[in-house]
Structure 1
């Protein structure tokens, strides 16, 4: 199982890096939309939708994404900044206000409509962040995603080796506080290396700690939805990992919020000019 997990991770990393640095912007956006569309399909399954409604749900998500990508070409010049602003804002409010309450009280939400809306709030801003952050700098996107991956791997191995105190036993029994500590330590080392080599302020490490906390929250939320749906994995596309959602759960909560703190003042000015 571990060998399969590692091999899948290496294959994904190689393909991701090639796409990140080589693909034109349009093809990158469409490739990421394809992955997010698969995640929408998996979310629909965990939400209790039957196959016909899952097809409708996934198709609507994909169609909306294509419209956003092609907005400038079809004359919808104000669509992209508006969608970006409201989607990232909705995701930020969800992860900072709603998700912590959902996790603490372990709400058993099984209404497909509510979960379908939640899926859009969780997944669509993730795709927008993948596209927008890469537009700023592929290296910035890689740095943020690497933080999540390092935290996830460190939490997994340190939890396996040292884990005794459960983090959220009724949500994800395998996660431990020792795993969280291992994630923080690994991210701290990663942050020190980045700051030293790029001559950046060491306050960036505080931000990386925040990304780590957010990624754990995203992981826990997906675990809660899976547990309440009675499934172990969101899908079976990725050997050793499960589904696409199982691989990107930590990104759904971290990427949109990083974009919020980078771009929110700019979003406001853009919208102000659009509505002036």
Structure 2
């Protein structure tokens, strides 16, 4: 999965678009199945509809993107027998984040998308090992019993190091360090949000697509949070010149 992702990001264009659309559609399928486990055909049709909408969106005028991204979430919510608002909010976040990753690759280039992905990966890895070795108080035990404050802070610090490394070969200012740390927090909030959803639905994993690792939603929840933060960041600063 990592190698496929790296190659797709490096190639960009239609290759990365296809990967982003596929992953987004699968996560919406997983979301629908978590809320209505027996909704097999409907969930697959909704995933196909989501892929069609996002694929079409990438070829249309950007002025329509917000309205189009509402479609899969609204249609799915209307078909849900319960947790309609939950589905709508999560499906919309997934669709916007997936679209945002493609836009970030096209508008800002491969360097800044790799920055985003590396921050997310380092946040997870640093948090995992620091949490296991240092332990300590739990970050949010009611939602995610395994996460500790030591692991959370280690993720922030690791992201700051990534930001500092990117200073050595980009034109960004020193603000990139603390912006990377905020991106790390956004990634963690994506993870927390999915953990809260799974606890609410009474499931351990979003699906069983990846043996021993759950589903794509379990693997990309942090990236979704980071993507949404990057979209917000792009409204405030020029991403290719972060911190200037």
Contact 2:57 2:68 in 1 (8 A): no
Which residue of the partner structure matches residue 142 of structure 2?
170
Deviation at 1:217, TM superposition (A): 0.8
Task: State how 1:17-166 maps to structure 2 within 5 Å.
Answer: 17-23=6-12, 25-48=13-36, 50-71=39-60, 78=61, 80-83=62-65, 111-135=82-106, 136-166=108-138
Over the aligned positions, Cα root-mean-square deviation in angstroms equals 2.4
- Give the secondary-structure state (helix, strand or coil) at the position aligned to 1:31: helix
Moved over 4 A (4+): 84-88, 263-266
Higher-RCO chain (CA-CA 8 Å, sequence separation at least 6): 1
Deviation at 1:21, TM superposition (A): 1.4
Per the alignment, do residues 157 and 63 of structure 1 end up closer, same or farther by CA in structure 2, a change over 3 Å counting?
same
1:235 matched to 2:224? The reply is no
Contact 1:235 1:242 in 2 (8 A): yes
Which residue of the partner structure matches residue 252 of structure 1?
224
Stretch deviating more after TM superposition (167-176 or 52-61): 52-61
> What 5-or-longer segments of structure 1 have no aligned partner?
1-11, 72-77, 89-109, 267-276
**How many correspondences in the alignment?**
226
Stretch deviating more after TM superposition (36-45 or 190-199): 190-199
Instruction: Provide the C-alpha distance between the structure 2 equivalents of 1:221 and 1:229, rounded to a whole number of angstroms.
Output: 12
Per the alignment, do residues 30 and 226 of structure 1 end up closer, same or farther by CA in structure 2, a change over 3 Å counting?
same
Note the alpha carbon deviations across 1:15-43, whole angstroms, 9 max, x for none. 111111125x1232122101111111111
- Give the secondary-structure state (helix, strand or coil) at the position aligned to 2:168: helix
